[in-house]
Chain A
Amino acid sequence: MLLASLVDLSRLQFALTAMFHWIFVPLTIGLGFIIAIMETYYVRTGNEFWKRTTKFWMKIFAVNFAIGVATGIILEFQFGTNWSNYSWFVGDIFGAPLAIEGILAFFMETTFFAIMFFGWNKVSKKAHLLSTWLVAFGTALSALWILVANAWMQYPIGMEFNPDTARNEMVDFWAVATSPVALNKFIHTITNAYVLGSVVVIGISSWYLLQKREEEFSRRSIKIAAIFGLISLVVLIWSGDGSGYQVSQKQPMKLAAMEGLYRSSNGTPLVAFGILNPKKNVSAMVDDSIGYELEKPYIFNISIPQGLSLLANRKFDSFVPGIEDILKGGYTYTDVNGEQQVALSVEEKIVRGKSAIAALALYNKAKEAGDDEGKEIARKQLMDNFEHFGYGFIKNPQDIVPNVPLTFYAFRVMVILGGYFILLFLLTIFMERKSLIGKSRWFQYMAITSVPLVYICSQAGWIVAEVGRQPWTIQNLLPVQASVSGVSSSSVLVTIILFFVLFSVLLIAELAILFKVIKKGPGA
Chain B
Amino acid sequence: MLYFLQHYWWILVSLLGAILVFLMFVQGGQSLLIWSTKNKEEKTLLINALGHKWELTFTTLVTFGGAIFASFPLYYSTSFGGAYWLWTAILFLFVIQAVSYEFRGKAGNLLGAKTYETFLFLNGMVGTILIGVAVGTFFTGGSFVMDKMSITDIYKPTISYWTNGWHGLDAITNPFNLTMGIVVFLAARTLGLLYIIMQIDSDAFITRCKSQVKVTGTAFVIGFVLLLLVLFTMTGYSVSQENGLISPVRYKYFFNMTQLIWPLAMLLMGVILVLWGLGTSFFAKGRYSFYITGGGVVVAVWSILICAAFNDTAFFVSTVNIQNSLTLYNSSSSEFTLKVMAFASLMIPFVLGYIVYVWRALTKVKISTDEIGKADSHKY
Contact = CB atoms under 8 A, between A and B. Distances in A.
Partners in one complex: yes
Interface of A: 1-2, 58, 62-63, 65-67, 69-74, 76-77, 79-85, 87-89, 91-96, 98-104, 106-115, 117-123, 162, 165-167, 169-171, 173, 354, 357-358, 360-361, 364, 392-393, 481-482, 484-488, 491, 495, 498-499, 502, 505-506, 508-510, 512-513, 515-517
Given A114-B52, A512-B110, 5 more contacts: A66-B99, A80-B76, A103-B63, A357-B152, A393-B154
B65 interface: yes
Nearest to B56: A110
B71 A120 contact: no
Closest 7 A-B residue pairs measured CB to CB? A84-B81, A91-B73, A80-B80, A486-B161, A102-B63, A95-B70, A70-B98
Interface stretch (B89-97, B179-187, B230-238, B293-301): B89-97
Nearest to A63: B102
A119 B55 contact: no
B288 interface: no
B159 A85 contact: yes
Interface in B318-357: 333-334, 336-337, 340-341, 344-345, 347-348, 351, 354-355
B245 interface: no
Contact of B103 (A76, A82, A513): A513
B365 interface: yes
Interface string B46-75: 000000110110110111011101110110
Interface in B156-202: 156-162, 165, 167
Given A63-B102, A92-B337, A107 B362 contact: no
A96 to B, nearest CB: 5
Contacts of A111: 56, 354-355, 358
A392 B62 contact: no
Interface of B: 52-53, 55-56, 58-59, 61-63, 65-67, 69-71, 73-74, 76-82, 84-85, 87-88, 91-92, 94-99, 101-103, 106-111, 148-149, 151-152, 154-162, 165, 167, 333-334, 336-337, 340-341, 344-345, 347-348, 351, 354-355, 358, 361-362, 364-365, 374, 376-378
Most A Cβ at <10 Å: residue of B99, B155, B344: B99
Contact of A485 (B52, B56, B81, B341): B81
Contacts of A481: 157
B110 A114 contact: no
Given A103-B347, A358-B152, A516 B377 contact: no
A115 B362 contact: yes
Contacts of A505: 110-111
13 contacts: A66-B98, A67-B98, A69-B58, A77-B65, A81-B84, A83-B81, A96-B333, A99-B63, A106-B62, A107-B63, A121-B376, A357-B151, A508-B110
B59 A170 contact: no
Contacts of A2: 155-156, 158
B80 A104 contact: no
A99 B334 contact: no
Contacts of B84: 81, 485, 487, 491
Interface of A is mostly: helix
B153 to A, nearest CB: 8
Most buried by A among B62, B101, B107: B62
B154 A354 contact: yes
A96 B341 contact: yes
Given A84-B78, A84-B80, A515 B152 contact: no
B77 A170 contact: no
Nearest to B351: A107
B20 to A, nearest CB: 12
Interface centre among A1, A73, A76, A113 (most CB of B within 10 A): A73
Contacts of A62: 102, 378
A110 B55 contact: yes
A516 B110 CA distance: 11
A360 B77 contact: no
B103 A63 contact: yes
A93 B337 contact: yes
A502 B111 contact: no
Given A1-B155, A107-B63, A509 B378 contact: no
Contact of B340 (A74, A119, A170, A482): A170
A91 B158 contact: no
A498 B154 contact: no
Listed residue (B76, B92, B344) with the most chain A CB atoms within 10 angstroms of its CB: B76
A87 B69 contact: yes
A281 B336 CA distance: 46
Contact of A87 (B71, B81, B336): B81
A103 B152 contact: no
Nearest to B98: A70
Contacts of B109: 509, 512-513
Contact of B70 (A98, A361, A491): A98
Nearest to B48: A118
A137 to B, nearest CB: 13
Given A166-B149, A509-B103, A74 B95 contact: yes
Given A106-B59, A166-B149, A506 B99 contact: yes
A110 B106 contact: no
A28 B113 CA distance: 24
A109 B334 CA distance: 30
Contacts of A74: 91, 95
